[in-house]
Amino acid sequence: MIVTLDRLRDRVVTNDIPDCARGAGSERNEWSLLMTHRTIGIDLAIRGDHVAQIFDDGHPSGRPIRFRHDPASLNSLVLRARDKLNESDRVQAIMEPTGMSWFPIAHQLVDAGVEVARVKGKRVKALRRYLSEHAKTDLADAQVLAAIPGFGGPRLDPVHIPAARSHALQRLTKQRSRFQDDLSSAKRRLLDLVRWASPALEAVLPDLATRLSLASLQRWLDPEAVLSVRRPTLRKFIAEHASGNHPHSGPFVEALIDGLRDAARQAQALHGRHVDFAELQAEVALEIDIMLTKMAAVSALEQRIAALYDELDPQSLLRSIPGIGEHLAPTILGVLHTARRFHSERHMRGFCGLFPKRSDSGGTERPGQQITQGGNDRIKRALMLAADTARRIDPELAEIYWRLMTAKGHHHKQALCAVANRLTNRIFSVLRRGKPYVLRDKDGNALTIEQAKAIVRTSYTVPNAVRASRRANRSPPAA
């Protein structure tokens, strides 16, 4: 049944419910025999009551349903969702992805045979403003959600409810990503602090990701403390905290001590009495304590993620694809879960959101648009990182990148996006077939990684002049 925009707008704004939806007598039973499609708009809340509105064949039916996250309330919602329907009748629940409030409702409805779809808040907001410009209520949002299928537009894909272990992998990789982002932000804050408090110290210390640099900042940022301590004490401190490629003694240690003292003298001369370095030292020490705690948490997460990934992908199918290594494979699998939820490569690419916006007007096409904001941000990031590595290994992907950069005039990110889309096709194929990916040349012969890299270096290296010309904001050449 097609519902006109004007009639649907009147119903959403005025909450006009047909008489046949109000009664519970023979008229309602007769109408239910003709019903083919029921939609349920659910406006989710973080703490309060959720509100649901049922639409039968495009018409609001019955009163709004208020419910909460408890078994009895959810069971009541499921019963109302299937009430007075035939087995063949279609039921679709539509909601926004409000936090994780959608999850318990979704899996309860899916278990009851109800198709569940999530829509972006931006789409709901835009439609609500058109239908009810001056009203923002939970009921209005629920009615708009239920009415969305009547407006056509993009198909609403059913929500995939992952298996418990796959869902756990998704949450663990998301937590790891969040901690790593926090660590990156903390390192940037420390670096900014060093650059104004003790500018010479940046060149003295190794990379801030190293244990030695963090320990040195945590203890020896205060110039007075560095200049008053004896040299053997500094030598012992460096030996205790040096790790990896950093020597525990010798010229490296002596040069580091000299650098710390020179930086301390310059900081004193720069700031005089205008900076309380003792309090600044305490601030930095606390920041580094938090960083070390999160670094330990990330290390523990890595072990749990690796064990869970080995359980879910015992053949290491994703890791067989060039560019997808130990770190990215769990992230990708945690977001995609299974290839069976996608009916084609195009469907998976659309889910990942790796395609540019389209801008056509007046018969003129404007290429080079930005990538859409659709899709999952974590898998976008993972695929772009994997593509940047894969183009250096796989001759087929390297050729695509090389051709777009040299012949099509694309810049690095545009070419990388095209490579990421090809990589998505391979992920779909590998997961569907259940067989590892094999590197091959143009004749179909299997290649080792070393052989593949040699082909890429020989045939598909983008000249530096071409790469520089593609940069949108390159610096002017030196005089």
Q: Which string of DSSP letters, residue by residue, matches 71-91?
A: HHHHHHHHHHHTTT--TT-EE
Is pLDDT at 372 greater than 90 in this prediction? no
Residue 139 has a pLDDT of 87
* Burial class, 440, CB count within 10 angstroms (exposed 0-12 / middle 13-18 / buried 19+): middle
Q: Among the ranges 253-262, 436-445, 458-467, which has the highest mean pLDDT value? A: 253-262
- CA–CA–CA angle 352, 358, 362 (5° rounding): 170
Instruction: Output the pLDDT for position 11.
Output: 42
pLDDT in tens, 236-279: 999 999 988 888 889 999 999 999 999 999 999 999 999 999 99
Name the least confident of 120-129, 313-322, 434-443, 468-477.
Answer: 468-477
Q: What is the mean pLDDT of residues 441-470?
A: 89
Q: State how far the Cα of 122 lies from the Cα of 432, in Å rounded to an integer.
A: 33
Calculate mean pLDDT across residues 158-165.
93
Rounded CA separation 260/265 (Å): 9
pLDDT tens digits along 118-156? 988 777 777 777 777 667 788 888 888 888 887 776 778
Specify whether the backbone of 347 is left (phi greater than 0), alpha (psi in -120 to 50) or beta: alpha
Cβ contacts of 347 within 8 Å, gap of 6 or more:
none
Residues 437, 438, 440, 443, Cα dihedral to 10°: -90
Of 285, 382, 389, residue with least CA distance to 328: 382
Over 70: is that where the pLDDT of 326 sits? yes
Q: For residue 389, is pLDDT > 70?
A: yes
Model pLDDT, residue 421 = 93
Measured CA to CA in angstroms, residue 456 lies from 441, 452, 460 at distances of: 11, 6, 5
Q: What is the mean pLDDT of residues 53-64?
A: 89
Looking at every residue in the chain, the average pLDDT score rounds to 85
> Mean pLDDT across the stretch 87-103?
88
pLDDT over 80 (residue 108): yes
pLDDT above 90: percentage of residues in the chain: 61
Instruction: Note the pTM of the prediction, 2 decimals.
Output: 0.82
Average pLDDT over residues 437-446: 89
Mean pLDDT across 300-317:
96
**pLDDT bracket for residue 59 (50, 70, 90):** confident
